Amino acid sequence: DAGVIQSPRHEVTEMGQEVTLRCKPISGHNSLFWYRQTMMRGLELLIYFNNNVPIDDSGMPEDRFSAKMPNASFSTLKIQPSEPRDSAVYFCASSPNRVGGTEAFFGQGTRLTVV
Amino acid sequence: GNSVTQMEGPVTLSEEAFLTINCTYTATGYPSLFWYVQYPGEGLQLLLKATKADDKGSNKGFEATYRKETTSFHLEKGSVQVSDSAVYFCALIDGGGADGLTFGKGTHLIIQP
């Protein structure tokens, strides 16, 4: 398996523009997580899905952020409109089941820069 | 709620030195504990894990023991190499809830030749 695949690897956009980050989880994994990493705040869990259903989105910072998982092999994280403070590395991770004890497998991340 | 506290970095050591990175946790349930490593420009990779008290996780010369009495999961390596330079994250999943991993802030390790 190719692992968790994220695209794009790098994104530079202007403030106010819409940004869409994409993730393909590992086949057969039924949990998917979106994290944001910054120097100031470290790794923050934004939202996670189980069997394509959003379970907890309490980490989503604002209404400008939205995430979808239309099927088991694809998820998006959208920021509209983007702001400079959204600049960060966004990671997607997947896990084979929801119960504790199973680690998550991470993609290589999308480095977002909003200018 | 759940939380993970790990020592602040950066930690700078000479090659072949002994490494300890402290990690303590707070959890509402009975968590599983993990150490992840992040090399420059890459995502996080699982380094080792332990799922119950007194378990010892080990990989690539690194070890950590799940200590329930002290709520700790300290990472150790007897002799570090330059290639171990990376950011190390301690994390937990609460066995009762599975709300995704809760991470510490990460410890940047720098190994000098």
Tell me the C-alpha distance between B68 and B77, whole Å. Answer: 21
Give the mean pLDDT of chain A.
92
Q: What percent of chain A has pLDDT over 70?
A: 95
Q: Which two tokens stand for residue B94?
A: 């609460």
> What is the pLDDT, as a whole number, of residue B97?
44
Q: Does A90 touch chain B (CB under 8 A)?
A: no
> What is the pLDDT, as a whole number, of residue A73?
95
What one-letter code names the amino acid at B6? Q
Q: Are A51 and A111 in contact (CB under 8 A)?
A: no
> What is the pLDDT, as a whole number, of residue B41?
83
> What is the pLDDT, as a whole number, of residue B58?
97
> What is the pLDDT, as a whole number, of residue B100?
72
> At B82, phi and psi to the nearest 5?
-55, -35
Closest CA to B24 of B64, B91, B89, B71: B71
Does B100 contact A48 at a Cβ distance shorter than 8 Å? yes
Quick: pLDDT tens for A45-96: 899 998 999 988 888 988 999 999 999 999 999 999 999 999 999 999 998 8
Question: How far is the CA of A2 from the CAs of A9, A24, A49, A104, in angstroms?
Answer: 15, 10, 21, 15
Q: Does B72 touch chain A (CB under 8 A)?
A: no
Tell me the C-alpha distance between B106 and A39, whole Å. Answer: 10
> What is the pLDDT, as a whole number, of residue A58?
87
Closest CA to B37 of B64, B68, B69: B64
* β partners of residue B70: none
> What is the pLDDT, as a whole number, of residue A96?
83
Peptide bond into A8 cis (omega under 30): yes
Assign A83 to helix, strand or coil: coil
Quick: pLDDT tens for B57-113: 999 999 999 999 999 999 999 999 999 999 999 999 876 444 678 889 999 999 999
pLDDT at A100 over 60: no
* β partners of residue A36: A44, A90
Q: What percent of chain B has pLDDT over 70?
A: 96
Q: Does B97 touch chain A (CB under 8 A)?
A: yes
Q: Are B18 and B79 in contact (CB under 8 A)?
A: yes
Q: Which residue from A minimizes the CA distance to B43?
A: A108
Helix (H) or strand (E) holding B33: strand B32-38
Q: Across residues B16-41, what is the average pLDDT?
A: 92
Q: Shortest CB distance from A101 goes to which of B93, B97, B102?
A: B93
Q: Does A33 touch chain B (CB under 8 A)?
A: yes
Count CB atoms within 10 A of the CB of residue B48: 20
